[in-house]
Amino acid sequence: MHAVRQWLDQARSVAVLTGAGVSAESGVPTFRDANGLWKQYRVQDLATPSAFARDPKLVWDWYNWRRSVLAEVKPNPGHYALADLEKRIPKFTLITQNVDGLHELAGSRNVLRLHGSIWEVRCLACGHQAVDLRISFPEIPPKCHCGGLLRPAVVWFGEPLPSDIWKAAETAARSSDLFLVIGTSAVVYPAAGLVQLAKSSGARVVEINVAQTPLTGDIDQFLQGPSGELLPQLIA
Ligand code: BJW
Ligand code: ZN
């Protein structure tokens, strides 16, 4: 913890990669932990383009359930600590795999959402994309004003990440002198590849997680524990 505090004090450019673990203490289910979403539901049924093509109502019912859970939760001290940290570092980029919007709610400004937003919808027919905070729709699946089918504007398996956001994330990872990877199992690519990119570009890498991941043996410092407790301590 002491070394990491020093690195933070010296850092001019910090990039952070977060995953579902940072929102766990807010009450948001993760994907791959013991009670994670992928333990209860099959990815192939819910989070792929072909699942949506097959049964858009099933997919929307699941996303609406998740939206209703998220509507009740708040950012936790880990989210707020990252928003505070951003104010202290000359160049700071928060790269998140999360779709929940809690970093932005906590006040983080420079956020790159690699996997989209659960609070946005996109039309399959005309491409129109917009914020849509409803948790119940008059009809499911909901329709665009053009009559096309709306889908959640998130990135499903087998889909490319938004290319401008991905490029910005690569640039941030490459130019960072300190890279924090927090609350992610680091098994989903290309997001997890940012850690190696930062490392090979010369950044120190610090991981914060309650459990070890495939990255843990290969980084500069592992801080084991809940991010909602460790992050506030780190920046205190
Ligand atoms: C705590 C904590 C606390 C708990 N404090 N910690 C290379 C090899 C093999 C396959 C591939 C490959 N490259 C690409 C692929 C395919 C695939 C992939 O990665 N598959 C692997 C799983 C094998 N990737 C893709 O398909 C991606 N697209 C792509 O590659 O496109 C290529 C392409 C190019 C051109 C044309 C077409 C295609 C897209 C991936 C999209 C991922 N989508 C999801 C769903 C988003 C929408 C939604 O939410 O519904 O994103 S899946 C899910 O996983 C979600 C997450 O963002 C993502 C990562 O999960 P995360 O955040 O790491 O959560 P968990 O649950 O896994 O981990 C939580 C962690 O927190 C744990 O470590 C806990 O210990 C920890 N924790 N409490 C701190 N309190
Ligand atoms: Zn449309």
Q: What is the DSSP string of 112-161?
A: EETTEEEEEEEETTT--EEE---SS-SSSS-B-TTSPBEEEEEPPTTSPP
The residues, ordered by sequence, that sit 6+ positions from 55 with a Cβ below 8 Å of its Cβ are 45
What was the pLDDT predicted at 18? 99
* All CATH 3.40.50.1220 domain ranges in the chain, comma separated: 2-28+74-114+161-235
CB 88 within 8 A of CB 70: no
Residue 90 Cα to ligand 2 middle (Å) = 41
- C-beta pairs of 220-224 under 8 Å, 24+ apart in sequence: 221/3, 221/4, 223/1, 223/4
pLDDT of residue 33: 94
Q: Which pairing describes strands 13-18 and 91-96: parallel, antiparallel, or unpaired?
A: parallel
Instruction: For residue range 167-188, list pLDDT tens digits in order.
Output: 999 999 999 999 999 999 999 9
pLDDT in tens, 38-55: 999 999 899 999 999 999
Percent of the chain with pLDDT strictly greater than 70: 100
Helix (H) or strand (E) holding 219: none
Per-residue model confidence (pLDDT) at position 99: 98
Residue nearest to atom 33 of ligand 1 (CA): 160
**pTM score, whole prediction:** 0.97
Q: Is the domain covering 2-28+74-114+161-235 a CATH 3.40.50.1220 domain?
A: yes
Tokens of 80: 């707020």
Choosing from 65, 111, 188, 224 the residue with most ligand 1 atoms within 8 A of its CB, the one to mutate for a pocket test is 188
Is residue 115 annotated as part of the catalytic site, yes or no? yes
pLDDT single digits (tens) 91-136: 999 999 999 999 999 999 999 999 999 999 999 999 999 999 998 8
Confirm if 105 and 82 have CB atoms less than 8 A apart: no
DSSP tag of 217: G
- The ligand minimizing its distance to the Cα of 144 is 2
pLDDT at site 136: 86
36-72+123-154 domain in CATH 3.30.1600.10?
Answer: yes
Q: How far is the CA of 122 from the centre of ligand 2 (A)?
A: 8
Chain mean position to CA 200: 23
Report the separation in Å between the CA atom of 123 and the middle of ligand 2, taken as the mean of its atom positions: 5
> What would the pLDDT profile of 190-217 be if each residue is shown by its tens digit?
999 999 999 999 999 999 999 999 999 9
176 CA → ligand 2 middle, Å: 39
Question: What is the number of the ligand closest to the CA of 116?
Answer: 1
Question: Residues with Cβ within 6 A of ligand 1?
Answer: 19-21, 24-25, 30-33, 36, 47, 97, 99, 115, 154-160, 183-185, 187-190, 209-211, 213, 226-228
Best substitution site from 22, 44, 100, 157 to test ligand 1's pocket, by max atoms within 8 Å of Cβ?
Answer: 157
Q: Where in the chain is the domain with CATH 3.30.1600.10?
A: 36-72+123-154
* CA angle, 173 then 177 then 181, to 5°: 55
Q: Which residues surround ligand 2, an ion (CB under 5 A)?
A: 123, 125-126, 128, 144, 146, 148
Instruction: State the catalytic residue, choosing from 2, 103, 115, 128.
Output: 115
